[in-house]
Structure 1
Amino acid sequence: MFIRSERLFLRPGWPEDWQELLVRIADEAVVKNLAKAPWPYTADDARWFASQEQDARCPHFFITLPSSSRPAEIIGCVGLAQADGEIELGYWIGRDFWGRGYATEAARAVLRLAKVLGHSEVVAGHFIDNPASGSVLRKVGFAPTGRMGRRFSLSRGYEAQTVEHRIALGSPSDCDGGSDEDLAPMRAA
């Protein structure tokens, strides 16, 4: 499965992507904001992640930046996962690409896909010391639930406080479906 957004191309990972993945994610400033990534992040971790099979209902994608002059460059990852019986959105962007709206654009694209896949609600969270991620979630239509949680971070080695968010996507629709009104929560604020 592939997704094209305004500036990005989201695609599945392939085993040969491991070296480029390692270059982007082997940065403590990136990994400390993730729950499931270890620190230090090693070549074996990158090989394992790049070769993961896709789940048809909860796909994950490498976020790439297309160019007419060179191969598309991996700049991050975004995807859906099952978490405690709910569908959860997760993402990361390499530090060299922070602050350019790429996480917001990729998250919107995956939320549109989530609606097509029949998910009516998606959850997400961020560590309390990562307010930039909370900003991304609010821009794509998530609302804080008012609940704080605790989540184990493999890279930190301890449970850290999180802010929980949720978005209602409404009834499933197809890619060509009806009006754009159903996507209002995902529009730029």
Structure 2
Amino acid sequence: MTDHMTTERLTLRAPRTEDAAAIASMVGDLEVSRWLTRVPHPYALQDAQEFISRVAVGGGNTFAICVGTQVVGCIGTEVQLGYWLGKNHWGRGYASEAAHAMVQRHFAQGHAELQSGYFVENAASRHVLEKLGFVRTSQEQSRSPATGDCHVLQRMVLTQDMWKAQA
């Protein structure tokens, strides 16, 4: 599989060392990190550097989302589909566009299903996943590492058959 992808407006590529400051700045915004299940707050430059290092030795399914040369977020399918965008890039359809490319890649790799989820208060993320065809499976209580608050986490799944049926 390729180490980068392009969509109509985006380039998805491996995060680079020089992306660390931008990633730290965007994820360091509590309005972003509060919706993520694995990110602490505050989120510092060292956290971003460690993230980039982990991705470099991982399975190759985590990408920086770029508009031109500017990093605007990240997306991956290492364990499940997860993504985030910097707050200044919300509402432009970038998450949906990047997620569509990642789902295509995931199923092209021969996987039978893909899991994801969202905190129920995060309507934008729910919309992205539903638009891709994900269906709800279960709910559980989950603590946001960024805020310490407990939220309902809606789990979802998309099978390869469901993906093909809507193509």
Gaps of 5+ in 2: none
Moved over 6 A (4+): none
* TM-score, normalised with respect to structure 2: 0.90
State whether residues 8 and 63 of structure 1, in contact with CA within 8 Å, keep that contact through their aligned partners in structure 2.
yes
Where does residue 7 of structure 1 map in the other structure? 9
Structure 2 residue identity aligned to 1:133: S
> After the TM superposition, which residues 14-163 of structure 1 pair with which residues of structure 2 at under 5 Å, given as runs?
14-52=16-54, 53-56=56-59, 59-66=61-68, 72-82=69-79, 88-145=80-137, 147-163=138-154
| Count of matched residue pairs | 164
Structure 2 residue identity aligned to 1:104: S
Q: For 1:25-69, what per-residue CA distance to the aligned partner results, in whole angstroms no more than 9, with x for missing partners?
A: 21100000001111011111111112222533x610000001xxx
SS in 2 for 1:63: strand
Structure label with greater radius of gyration? 1
Where does residue 158 of structure 2 map in the other structure? 167
State whether residues 150 and 160 of structure 1, in contact with CA within 8 Å, keep that contact through their aligned partners in structure 2.
yes
CA RMSD, Structure 1 to Structure 2 (Å): 1.8
Aligned-residue offset at 1:81 = 2.3
Q: C-alpha separation between the residues in 2 aligned to 1:160 and 1:81?
A: 23
Q: C-alpha separation between the residues in 2 aligned to 1:93 and 1:120?
A: 27
Gaps of 5+ in 1: 67-71, 83-87, 172-180
Q: C-alpha separation between the residues in 1 aligned to 2:142 and 2:51?
A: 21
Structure 2 residue identity aligned to 1:7: R
Q: C-alpha separation between the residues in 2 aligned to 1:119 and 1:158?
A: 33
Aligned-residue offset at 1:161 = 1.1
SS in 2 for 1:81: coil
* Bigger share in helix: 2
Q: C-alpha separation between the residues in 1 aligned to 2:161 and 2:119?
A: 27
Aligned-residue offset at 1:100 = 0.7
SS in 2 for 1:3: strand
